[in-house]
């Protein structure tokens, strides 16, 4: 588990870190000549991140304002609902 100090650093520098991930995905797409690579790289990272989240973290994720905003888009309706309370 990450130390409290390293978690704080990630939160503070998280936006920069994400920009670097997005840039790397864009560069991979440019190098391959296929823009789908950028989406595939980011999709793979999202799947990995969600797969290691515990129930409390998943609940925070689904209740995040950014996710709630996407949930209003017709294509996402029913897919981004908050998790049911399972009495963890």
pLDDT band at 88 (very low <50, low <70, confident <90, very high): very low
Distance CA 29, CA 40 (A): 9
Q: How many domains in the chain?
A: 2
Residues in the chain: 88
The whole-number average pLDDT for the span 68-82 is 89
> What pLDDT is stored for residue 11 in this prediction?
57
Tell which residue, 7, 6, 43, 11, has the closest CA to residue 25. 43
Question: Which tokens sit at 11?
Answer: 């939160």
Q: Are residues 29 and 18 in the same domain?
A: yes
Q: Are residues 87 and 59 in the same domain?
A: yes
Question: Would you state the pLDDT for residue 16?
Answer: 80
The reply to whether 37 and 47 lie within a common domain is: yes
| Average pLDDT of the segment spanning 40-44 | 93
**Model pTM?**
0.64
Mean pLDDT of 42-59: 92
C-alpha–C-alpha distance, residues 6 and 77, integer Å: 35
Residue span of the structural domain in which 68 resides: 53-88
């Amino acid at each position: 588990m990450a130390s409290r100090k390293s978690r704080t650093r990630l939160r503070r520098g998280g936006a920069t870190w994400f920009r670097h991930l997005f840039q790397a995905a864009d560069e991979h797409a440019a190098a391959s000549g296929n823009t789908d690579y950028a989406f595939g790289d980011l999709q793979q990272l999202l799947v990995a991140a969600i797969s290691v989240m515990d129930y409390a973290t998943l609940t925070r994720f689904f209740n995040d304002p950014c996710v709630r905003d996407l949930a209003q888009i017709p294509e996402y309706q029913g897919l981004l609902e908050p998790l049911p309370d399972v009495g963890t």
